[in-house]
Structure 1
Amino acid sequence: MSTAAATKPSAAPKGGGRRKLTLPWIMLIVAAGLVLFSLVRAVSGANDLTSVGQVSGALQLAVPIGLAGLGGLWAERAGVVNIGLEGMMVLGTWFGAWAGYQWGPWTGVLFGLVGGAIGGLLHAVITVTFNVNHIVSGVAINILAVGFTQYLSNFTFAEAPGGSSKQSPRIEQITKITIPGLSDWLQDLQAKHWFLVSDLAGILGGLVTNLSLLTVVAILLIPATWWVLWRTAFGLRLRSCGENPVAAESLGVNVYKYKYIAVTVSGALAGLGGAFLAIVATGIYQEGQTGGRGYIGLAAMIFGNWMPGGMALGAGLFGFTDSLKLRGGAENVHALLLLVALLLVVAALWQLYRKKYVAGVVSAVFAAGFFLWYALTDEVPSQFVDAAPYVTTLLVLALSAQRLRMPKADGLPYRKGQGK
């Protein structure tokens, strides 16, 4: 009795660690963000900021980033850093386009998965079996994938009608769905530019208008990943390999097997993102079309704290920022200056409330700077518009770095038999 009483208080200390966001809090934050967006749109007059076309374009741009981020999550939850996501996406674009123009888009999707999985398997062999540094292996795969696809294009696409050594022939499109009636009603409601109501209509309208079936599959992969990794015995074993592989092996887990599975699935998801770029986003393979999305997907995964839901939010943010330069360009990015200023004001008030006066003052100074930039200009330079997605990536990672917790054994060397 005395032993139990003595150990009880230390078993689960209250108030230790960082609180997890519950669903009501997440919904409240999303609602507050929507109100802020609506306010910025009303003040700036950038009515395209939350239009159906803007949201639809953002979703299309976010999907390949999200798939790459999902692939990174699988690998890193098993303890393998996968900076080779970019190369695996490149393989997915090439294999998806090569099979897609010959045998149809869904066959292209399958081959894109296989192409990325091959890259993931190669990464697993190098890092898991031969214990090579994960960063070195990933960089090597990125370089190898670019050279390999350029070589293959010279005697495949170059000989095909309508193709060249740098691009494929046109690929048949995957079916797109639009919910009749609802889509038109939401577009009409969005066109009225009512505060909050029209913004919500624009967001919902973008999710039911010209939606590719592959986009639906990609969205469903997010909750599927969460369920597999956090609600199954398989997922528990896989995550244990990323937290403490020695302890996992001592309990009978085949660490090598789970790492191989995770990194191969990681490559397949990145390859699916590449196939999406070639088949859905553009309808054609072009050399260099991934444009660093594998790296941005990795940033989205880190922003999401190695969780599927957070990663999806990060991918959506980067996709939205990227879509601004396609619709409205300088006007929309100029409106974002006001949004950034308001967010910095919120951050300053929060830091002051927590009695972190230095951080609060710094946030307030930057908020004033962005307010002045917005008030004294009518548009931003075109170069800033093009750089907006990458600037967003850097800012998001810098601001979210303090709350991140990566898997404890992520990227650490491991030899079979250490747990025995």
Structure 2
Amino acid sequence: MSQTVEVATPEKKPPRRVVTPWRLVSLGVAVFVALAGVRVITGQNALTDSGTIQASLAFAIPIAMAGLGGLWAERAGIINIGLEGMMVLGTWAGAFAAYNTGSPWAGLVAGVLGGVIGGLLHAVATVTFGVDHIVSGVAINILAVGAMRYLSILYFQDQPGGGAAQSPPLPRFPLVDLPFVSGLLGPLEDKRWFLVSDLAGLVLGLTTGISLLTLVAILLIPASYYILWKTPFGLRLRSCGESPEAAESLGVSVYRYKYVAVLVSGGLAGMGGVFLAMVSSSIYQEGQTGGRGYIGLAAMIFGNWRPGGLAMGAGLFGFTDALQVRGSGAAVHALLLLVAAVLVAVAIWQFTRGKRLSAVVSLGVAALLVVWWALTDTLPRELVTYSPHIATLLVMALATQRLRPPAAVGRQWRPGGKS
């Protein structure tokens, strides 16, 4: 008798969907068109006018710099919860140097160095001594706030306009404009035509009254992508976050790359702090970071540890922050329609994938939001004030379904594969 032996074959996993730049651009265009439609329906011109775009950029840049710092560190396997403290170090160091030299560029260098010092502390604790990454980051956050308060009392309290919790007025970075843009597109924005005026407001907001530091910060996002994904250095650094044992076996100095990544991470966070002190305002104040280091981490996770997605996340958080500052409750209230439109699109996508129950739930929530918008004129002040934080929670809840962090992130590592 012959026996048939069945050989188990491994199940084929569905191919992983790659998020290309064109998909990100398409998603951004679709959201902008929906936003323009909501603006026409509700009459809330603050949704897409140039002032809101400028304010969104100003709010988004510190978040993006913190998130980019987190991306560098976590791609090398180091969780950097201390981004908030490194931003605090950057705000104070930048203010100190700018005030004493009269140059905002000297403040930028000092602020970046202040963040690097925070990164060095984190690297020594986590890479050299194997301290838990979360514990080290929280300690840096606490240490930075107390140390900067002490230094403010020491150096700023007796200066004109200074105090125990703030610096004197600081020099600001110069602003640049594209010539003729305001004259050509300003009247077009005022027409309030669907999509045409919205595009004019977008271009105006991105090309007029822009700080030079803003341009530098924006360029750092594609530069980071190129360095980390298109160079041998970036490949080696990312290998330290995926499999440090394999990287070490190939001759990569894992310690050195982890140190470099965390130092760059701190420098980027420090630069975000300089932006807060000398672009968003013209003074250093205690508590100026306002949790942006943590929101930067949320933007990084939303972007799936990629610079393009990170930029979109920072833009979303910056937009909601700008809208609640400039547009008051009525403009934030209009976002209920935008969220409903997004949920309808999600429901259609889920239905095509056979997830009918999820599609029905999405449509039900969208219907409730439309009813909420129709029966009310504004949102409670508490919801308006905390709309950026609510957006952070919602985005994180939706983004966690398709995340793929570096495999070895957060793990203590020692030479020879000991962890």
- Give 1:329 deviation, angstroms: 1.1
* Amino acid corresponding to residue 375 of structure 1 in structure 2: A
In structure 2, the partner of 1:126 is: 125
Residue 52 of structure 1 contacts residue 187 of structure 1 at CA under 8 Å; is this kept in 2? no
Counterparts of residues 222-233 of structure 1 (less than 5 Å): 222-233=221-232
- Give 1:179 deviation, angstroms: 1.5
* Amino acid corresponding to residue 364 of structure 1 in structure 2: L
Match of 1:27 among 12, 25, 30: 25
Assess, with a 3 A threshold, how the Cα gap between structure 1 residues 23 and 66 changes in structure 2: closer, same or farther.
Answer: closer
- Give 1:183 deviation, angstroms: 2.4
In structure 1, the partner of 2:36 is: 38
In structure 1, the partner of 2:309 is: 310
- Does residue 351 of the first structure (1) align with residue 350 of the second (2)? yes
In structure 1, the partner of 2:5 is: none
- Does residue 82 of the first structure (1) align with residue 70 of the second (2)? no
SS class of match (2:325): coil
Q: Hey, what's the Cα distance between the residues in 2 that align with 1:221 and 1:22?
A: 19
Residue 243 of structure 1 contacts residue 410 of structure 1 at CA under 8 Å; is this kept in 2? yes
In structure 2, the partner of 1:113 is: 112
Residue 120 of structure 1 contacts residue 263 of structure 1 at CA under 8 Å; is this kept in 2? yes
Q: Hey, what's the Cα distance between the residues in 1 that align with 2:21 and 2:315?
A: 19
- Give 1:27 deviation, angstroms: 2.9
SS class of match (2:189): helix
Q: Hey, what's the Cα distance between the residues in 2 that align with 1:404 and 1:237?
A: 22
Counterparts of residues 18-167 of structure 1 (less than 5 Å): 18-103=16-101, 104-167=103-166
- Does residue 211 of the first structure (1) align with residue 210 of the second (2)? yes
Counterparts of residues 173-188 of structure 1 (less than 5 Å): 173-188=172-187
Q: Which runs of 5+ in 1 are unaligned?
A: 1-8
Q: Hey, what's the Cα distance between the residues in 1 that align with 2:362 and 2:31?
A: 18
In structure 1, the partner of 2:399 is: 400
Q: Hey, what's the Cα distance between the residues in 2 that align with 1:339 and 1:264?
A: 40
Q: Hey, what's the Cα distance between the residues in 2 that align with 1:22 and 1:136?
A: 36
TM-score (norm 1): 0.95
Q: Hey, what's the Cα distance between the residues in 2 that align with 1:178 and 1:122?
A: 40
1:211-260: CA deviation from partner (whole Å, max 9, x where unpaired)? 00000000000011011111111111000000000000011111000000
In structure 1, the partner of 2:193 is: 194
* Amino acid corresponding to residue 120 of structure 1 in structure 2: G
1:247-278: CA deviation from partner (whole Å, max 9, x where unpaired)? 00011111000000000100000000001100
* Amino acid corresponding to residue 76 of structure 1 in structure 2: E
Counterparts of residues 254-403 of structure 1 (less than 5 Å): 254-403=253-402
- Give 1:15 deviation, angstroms: 7.5
SS class of match (1:172): coil
- Give 1:14 deviation, angstroms: 8.9
In structure 2, the partner of 1:5 is: none
Q: Hey, what's the Cα distance between the residues in 2 that align with 1:185 and 1:135?
A: 51
SS class of match (2:203): helix
Q: Hey, what's the Cα distance between the residues in 1 that align with 2:23 and 2:61?
A: 25
Residue 82 of structure 2 contacts residue 141 of structure 2 at CA under 8 Å; is this kept in 1? yes
1:141-172: CA deviation from partner (whole Å, max 9, x where unpaired)? 00000001011111111021110001100001
Q: Hey, what's the Cα distance between the residues in 2 that align with 1:347 and 1:33?
A: 13
- Give 1:23 deviation, angstroms: 3.7
Deviates more, 1:100-109 or 1:240-249: 100-109
In structure 1, the partner of 2:6 is: none
Q: Hey, what's the Cα distance between the residues in 2 that align with 1:19 and 1:279?
A: 41
SS class of match (1:218): helix
- Give 1:110 deviation, angstroms: 0.5
In structure 2, the partner of 1:412 is: 411
Q: Hey, what's the Cα distance between the residues in 2 that align with 1:229 and 1:187?
A: 39
Q: Hey, what's the Cα distance between the residues in 1 that align with 2:216 and 2:181?
A: 21
- Give 1:18 deviation, angstroms: 1.8
- Give 1:368 deviation, angstroms: 1.3
Residue 113 of structure 2 contacts residue 270 of structure 2 at CA under 8 Å; is this kept in 1? yes
Q: Hey, what's the Cα distance between the residues in 1 that align with 2:29 and 2:129?
A: 49
Q: Hey, what's the Cα distance between the residues in 1 that align with 2:80 and 2:46?
A: 37
Residue 176 of structure 1 contacts residue 211 of structure 1 at CA under 8 Å; is this kept in 2? yes
TM-score (norm 2): 0.95
* Amino acid corresponding to residue 368 of structure 2 in structure 1: G
SS class of match (2:58): helix
SS class of match (2:386): helix
Q: Hey, what's the Cα distance between the residues in 2 that align with 1:26 and 1:285?
A: 36
Residue 21 of structure 2 contacts residue 308 of structure 2 at CA under 8 Å; is this kept in 1? no
- Give 1:361 deviation, angstroms: 1.8
Residue 321 of structure 2 contacts residue 388 of structure 2 at CA under 8 Å; is this kept in 1? yes
- Give 1:417 deviation, angstroms: 2.3
Aligned residues, how many?
410
Q: Hey, what's the Cα distance between the residues in 1 that align with 2:115 and 2:123?
A: 12
In structure 2, the partner of 1:6 is: none
Q: Hey, what's the Cα distance between the residues in 2 that align with 1:71 and 1:416?
A: 25
Residue 95 of structure 2 contacts residue 170 of structure 2 at CA under 8 Å; is this kept in 1? yes
1:70-101: CA deviation from partner (whole Å, max 9, x where unpaired)? 00000000000001000000000110111111
SS class of match (1:392): helix
Tell me the percent identity: 59
In structure 1, the partner of 2:3 is: none
Deviates more, 1:264-273 or 1:182-191: 182-191
- Give 1:352 deviation, angstroms: 1.7
